[in-house]
C-alpha cells in the first residue's frame, strides 16, 4: 500500500492551538465552573455567585468580589500562557495559588462566547471585554469580576454532542462548586439555575460548612482528624462506619487546598477503613493534606487534579495513621454496630 502523499509542516493557526489546548481543560460546563471559581479564589473573593442556564451549556456567569483586573490587562487575561501568578521556575515550584498555567481563560474563550466585566478598587468604573472581537467598553459593576461564558462548544459541534442532559451537567457543575466550598468555608457561595437559587453556602466555620454541604449527619457521624508529620499536616473529618455509603460520593481529598483524585491517598484511605468497613460500603471523608509546596508537584496534569509527592511513602503512612487513629479511638466495630 502506497504511503499517503506527504504534506509540508505548517504552524497551526493560533485559534486552533487554543481549541486543541481547550480539549485538555474544558470537558463540560463543570470544568469551566471549576476554573472560574479557582480564579475568583485566587483574586481574594469573599463571595462567589455562579449562575447557570441549561445546566451551564447555554450560559455560565461567575461573579466575584475579588481584586478585579485592571482595564489595560484585560486583553492579556485571555491570552494563552499569560498569568499574574508566577514569573519563574522558582515561583512555580513554590506556587500557592490555584492557577498558574495562564491557560483557562484562553481555552474557554476559544470554545465559547466569553466576556469579562471587571473593576479594580482604584478604577472609576468597570470595563467589559468581549473576547471574540477584543472590544473594550465601559460597564457598570462593583469592584470584582464577572465572567460570562455563553454557548459552550458552539463552534465545535463534535464536542457539544458529548454533553449530557442539562440536569446531569447541572449536577456536575454543582459538584465542582461543592468541592471548592468544602475547602473554603471563609468564602460564601451561591448557585443559581435559570433564575432559581439551588444552593447557598454562607461563610461559616469548617465544621458548619461541612454540615451545610454534606448534611448535618456527616458531622455527627464523623470525627476530627489532625496529625502532624514532618513537613505535612493531615486535617479534616473522617466518617465513622455509620457514615459509610453505597456510593463513593462523600470522598473529598485536598492537597494544599486543591481538590485532588490521587491513587496514593485513595489507597491509604481504603486501607485505613479496611477493618471497619465491610463489603462494598464506601467511607465518607473530607481530608486536607497540607504540605510544604516544594514537596509536591502540582504540574503533572492540565486540570491539576493529580499531583506527585516527593516523599510518597510518608504521605501514604501519615494519611493512613491519621484516619486509623480516630477510627480506633471510637471502637471501630464493623458497619456501625455497637458504635454510639
Binding mask 16-45 for Mg ion (x = CB under 5 A): -----------------------x------
84 binds, among ligand ADP, Mg ion, none (CB under 5 to 8 A by kind): ligand ADP
103 binds, among ligand ADP, Mg ion, none (CB under 5 to 8 A by kind): ligand ADP
Q: Which of residues 164-223 bind ligand ADP (CB under 6 A)?
A: none
The residue nearest Mg ion at its CB is: 99
The Cα 214–Cα 265 span in angstroms is 21
Q: Which is nearer to ligand ADP, 43 or 319 (CB)?
A: 43
**Coil, helix or strand for 228?**
strand
66 binds, among ligand ADP, Mg ion, none (CB under 5 to 8 A by kind): ligand ADP
Out of 18, 112, 145, 282, the residue judged to bind ligand ADP by CB under 6 A: 145
Q: Could you tell me the smallest distance in angstroms from the CB atom of residue 38 to Mg ion?
A: 5
Q: Which is nearer to ligand ADP, 81 or 161 (CB)?
A: 81
Q: Could you tell me the smallest distance in angstroms from the CB atom of residue 80 to Mg ion?
A: 12
8 A C-beta contact, residue 40 and residue 180: no
Compute CA distances 288 → 35, 170, 251, 323, whole Å.
20, 26, 11, 12
- Asked if 102 interacts with ligand ADP (CB under 6 A), we say yes
Q: Which of residues 27-86 bind ligand ADP (CB under 6 A)?
A: 35, 39-40, 43, 64, 66-69, 77, 83-85
61 binds, among Mg ion, ligand ADP, none (CB under 5 to 8 A by kind): none
Contacts of 300 (CB under 8 A, 6+ apart): 306, 307, 308
The Cα 339–Cα 333 span in angstroms is 6
Residues, the chain: 340
Contacts of 252 (CB under 8 A, 6+ apart): 179, 182, 259, 285, 286, 287
Q: Which stretch binds ligand ADP (CB under 6 A): 6-14, 102-110, 308-316, 320-328?
A: 102-110
The Cα 127–Cα 186 span in angstroms is 28
77 binds, among Mg ion, ligand ADP, none (CB under 5 to 8 A by kind): ligand ADP
8 A C-beta contact, residue 114 and residue 127: no
Compute CA distances 127 → 140, 165, 264, whole Å.
8, 34, 45
**Number of residues engaging Mg ion in binding (CB under 5 A):** 3
Q: Could you tell me the smallest distance in angstroms from the CB atom of residue 192 to Mg ion?
A: 22
Radius of gyration for the alpha carbons in the chain, expressed in angstroms and rounded: 22
Distance of CA 254 to the CA centre of its chain: 10
- Asked if 239 interacts with ligand ADP (CB under 6 A), we say no
Q: Which of 243, 330, 321, 320 is nearest to 282 (CA)?
A: 243
Q: Which residues bind ligand ADP (CB under 6 A)?
A: 35, 39-40, 43, 64, 66-69, 77, 83-85, 99-106, 145
Q: Which residues bind Mg ion (CB under 5 A)?
A: 39, 99, 104
Amino acid at each position: 500500500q502506497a504511503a499517503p502523499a506527504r504534506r509540508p509542516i505548517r504552524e497551526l493557526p493560533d485559534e486552533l492551538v487554543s481549541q486543541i489546548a481547550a480539549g485538555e481543560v474544558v470537558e463540560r460546563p463543570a470544568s469551566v465552573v471549576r476554573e472560574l471559581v479557582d480564579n475568583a479564589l485566587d483574586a481574594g473573593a469573599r463571595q462567589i455567585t455562579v449562575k447557570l442556564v441549561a445546566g451551564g451549556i447555554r450560559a455560565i456567569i461567575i461573579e466575584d468580589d475579588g481584586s478585579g483586573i485592571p482595564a489595560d490587562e484585560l486583553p492579556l487575561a485571555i491570552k494563552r500562557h499569560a498569568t499574574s501568578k508566577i514569573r519563574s521556575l522558582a515561583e512555580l515550584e513554590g506556587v500557592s495559588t490555584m492557577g498558574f498555567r495562564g491557560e483557562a481563560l484562553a481555552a474557554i474563550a476559544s470554545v465559547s462566547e466569553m466576556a469579562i466585566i471587571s473593576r479594580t478598587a482604584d478604577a472609576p468604573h468597570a470595563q467589559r471585554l468581549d473576547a471574540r472581537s477584543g472590544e473594550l467598553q465601559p460597564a457598570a459593576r462593583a469592584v470584582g469580576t464577572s465572567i460570562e461564558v455563553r454557548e459552550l462548544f458552539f463552534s465545535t459541534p463534535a464536542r457539544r454532542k458529548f454533553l449530557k442532559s442539562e440536569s446531569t451537567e447541572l449536577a456536575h457543575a454543582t459538584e465542582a462548586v461543592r468541592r471548592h466550598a468544602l475547602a473554603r468555608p471563609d468564602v460564601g457561595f451561591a448557585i443559581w439555575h435559570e433564575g432559581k437559587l439551588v444552593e447557598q453556602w454562607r461563610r461559616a466555620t469548617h465544621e458548619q460548612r461541612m454540615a451545610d454541604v454534606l448534611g448535618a449527619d456527616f458531622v455527627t457521624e464523623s470525627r476530627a482528624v489532625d496529625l502532624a508529620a514532618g513537613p505535612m499536616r493531615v486535617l479534616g473529618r473522617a466518617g465513622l462506619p455509620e457514615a459509610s455509603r453505597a456510593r463513593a460520593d462523600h470522598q473529598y481529598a485536598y492537597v494544599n487546598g486543591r481538590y485532588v483524585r490521587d491513587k496514593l491517598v485513595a489507597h491509604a484511605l481504603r486501607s485505613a477503613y479496611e477493618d471497619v468497613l465491610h463489603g462494598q460500603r464506601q467511607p465518607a471523608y473530607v481530608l486536607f493534606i497540607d504540605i510544604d509546596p516544594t514537596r509536591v508537584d502540582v504540574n503533572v496534569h492540565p486540570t491539576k487534579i493529580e499531583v506527585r509527592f516527593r516523599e510518597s511513602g510518608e504521605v501514604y503512612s501519615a494519611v493512613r495513621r491519621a484516619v486509623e487513629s480516630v477510627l480506633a479511638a471510637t471502637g471501630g466495630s464493623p458497619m456501625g454496630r455497637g458504635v454510639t
